[in-house]
Amino acid sequence: MPAKKNDLITRFLIWRAKHISQKQFIYLLSVLVGFTSGLGAAILKNATHFFQNLLEGNLIKSYHDAFYFLSPVVGLALVFVIINFGIRRKVSHGIPSTLYAISKKKG
């Protein structure tokens, strides 16, 4: 499977070199990144409003206080599962570890 993926990437890069200049490729990538970022921001905003309406609405009024306690607990549990079973390596914090990864580990 990785050979097939590399072959596809190689074919794309050859096509790009023949048909699109470097400047046009950067413009295309910037449009793609901007569109994806905007879509992600809209999804995050709408999800936040959905959960706010769910917590403050009449749908779960009798469990209102319990959800304010359970929401952070569920979030912490998800982070724990992702770090221990998804990433499976030490996760360091903040800007210094990011700068170290960029400089020493080539990004």
For 91-100, the pLDDT digits (tens) are: 777 777 777 7
Both 3 and 38 in a single domain? yes
Task: Tell me the two tokens of residue 55.
Answer: 């917590």
The total domain count for the chain is: 2
Residue 27 has pLDDT above 60, yes or no: yes
Q: Answer yes or no: are the C-beta atoms of 25 and 16 closer than 8 Å.
A: yes
Both 67 and 21 in a single domain? no
pTM given for the model: 0.58
Region at 34 (left for phi over 0; alpha for psi -120 to 50; beta for the rest): alpha
How many H helices and E strands in the chain? Answer: 4, 0
Residue 102 has pLDDT above 90, yes or no: no
Both 72 and 101 in a single domain? yes
Banded model confidence at residue 21, pLDDT cuts 50, 70, 90? very high
Question: By residue range, what is the domain housing residue 30?
Answer: 1-56
